[in-house]
A = this chain, B = another copy of it.
Amino acid sequence: MQRTSFENMNCPIARSLDRVGEWWSILILRDAFYGLTRFDEFQKSLNIAPNMLSRRLAGLVEEGLLEKRPYQDKPLRHEYFLTERGRDFRPVMLALLAWGNRHFAPEGEAVIVTERATGERVEPVLVDRASGRPVTDEALFETAPGPAADETTRARFTRRDAKRETLSTS
């Protein structure tokens, strides 16, 4: 099934999704954060068809999230390592983790985030770097058109603000 490409959309979320590929790719990245590097390790962990895994790994290399290094000559075999761009996906991963823990773990949490020094559990929250206030507080923060916003993007915000206006006066 040919997936629509979101690459040309004037939206950082759509572009991120376009580059990550699909769910399998995120689970491959997750496993790379766990330190897995080899084809058979990913395959065993994910129970994924080899041709699918090859495709996803190649895609992640192409998008600059993983890099490939040979570790054996005959036959030639590669390991896959997170690039800087790949490591930088960590906040998305941790945000998914926190959301999953809050909403889909009725039997308790399988994976948590801890402070290495103490082993204490910590709670990740998204804040404004400068003020430390939660960016998710919609009374304080909002998304807005950036310098490269095109007409479609600007229209999205104009509609949003008009809707807000309607809601607040009705």
Contact = CB atoms under 8 A, between A and B. Distances in A.
A71 interface: no
Number of copies: 2
A17 B88 contact: no
A50 interface: no
A58 to B, nearest CB: 19
Contacts of A95: 91-92, 94-95, 126
Contact of A135 (B34, B94, B108): B94
Interface residues of A, number: 90
B128 A123 contact: yes
A7 to B, nearest CB: 8
A1 B1 contact: yes
